[in-house]
Homo-oligomer: A and B are copies of this chain.
């Protein structure tokens, strides 16, 4: 059994959706148990309403957490004040060995802050961070950091490279992940002060560093790990989401302008759907927290049931793959 705690209070879309994702996960995986985190009375009612029963119901638990941290709260402050919040209760269960991993669709800063507070950092890690899987024309690329650390030093980015490489090996089964440094030109001298210094560190190491990559390389799939500070990573993520949404909207508007195109769209709709699926964050399920002494996954704030289910699967894989052991070994190997 893998036991996953799921913070159902954090997402923008409400706890019912999260519960439905949890039920899908335990239905598909007979060795999963999910512990829902939130106000007991509310969750008991919603679970009952879902009609789940028998063997499934036996693998769906509730852990009472009366408080919730909203998306707009300051992470550090919220974590200090709300000791009974669903996310804090989740990492408390992890600390006490009662769950193997925690999944949250809530405030990502608060999720990381809770994890660090309750579980601590892995030995040798300066700054834990959030990795994220981006779809590409080939296999997905892992980008780190995507929001936890907005002001970084070169050593932080160097460690992101090590941790994200382990993640790429363990979660995506890529033997020798190619590491790129996000910059504004391919030459070593291009970039801001942080990037130039990080480039030197990476180039001097025995990591599989292929040099600077540009924003447009993210989606080509010719690099497996991209490192950047959390400000730049988060902007890249949000710009991509915003453009994808806007582009679909513009395209739909153009299509709806003529009858001929409307007919065409009906014929093409399935291709559109499978395209949407391919670029949809929901299919990727979650962003692993790397550098904490435990297993945590942040699901997208707008997560739907599929995204939650996938995040639970990623959490289980991450826990079983012993990713943290691999990170510890790599940190020692490449930092010496």
Give me the interface of A with B, judged by CB distance under 8 Å: 72, 74, 136-137, 147, 150-151, 182-185, 187, 189, 191-193, 195, 214-220, 229-232, 234-247, 249-251, 254-255, 257-258, 260-261, 263-272, 274-275, 278-279
> A264-B268, A270-B258 are known contacts. Are A279 and B150 too (CB-CB below 8 A)?
no
Having A240-B243, A250-B279, A260-B267, one finds 9 other A-B pairs with CB under 8 Å, namely A137-B250, A183-B231, A192-B229, A217-B242, A232-B232, A244-B247, A247-B279, A250-B275, A264-B264
Q: Is the CB of B192 within 8 A of A220?
A: no
Task: Give the docked Cα–Cα distance between A33 and B333 (Å).
Answer: 64
Give this chain's copy count: 2
Q: Which of B147, B189, B246 contacts A137 (CB 8 A)?
A: B246
Complex CA gap A147/B291 in Å reads 32
Q: Is the CB of A215 within 8 A of B234?
A: yes
Q: Is the CB of A216 within 8 A of B238?
A: yes
A271 is contacted by which of B247, B254, B279 (Cβ under 8 Å)? B254
Contact of A240 among B220, B239, B261 (CB under 8 A): B239
A sample of 18 inter-chain contacts (CB < 8 A) reads A182-B235, A214-B235, A215-B234, A215-B236, A215-B237, A217-B242, A236-B239, A239-B240, A244-B247, A247-B279, A250-B278, A251-B271, A254-B275, A254-B278, A255-B268, A260-B270, A264-B264, A264-B266
Point out the residue from B192, B251, B279 that lies within 8 Å of A272, measured CB to CB.
B251
A189 touches B258 (CB 8 A): no
- A271 touching B257, Cβ below 8 Å: yes
Question: 3 nearest interchain CB pairs?
Answer: A264-B267, A215-B238, A216-B242
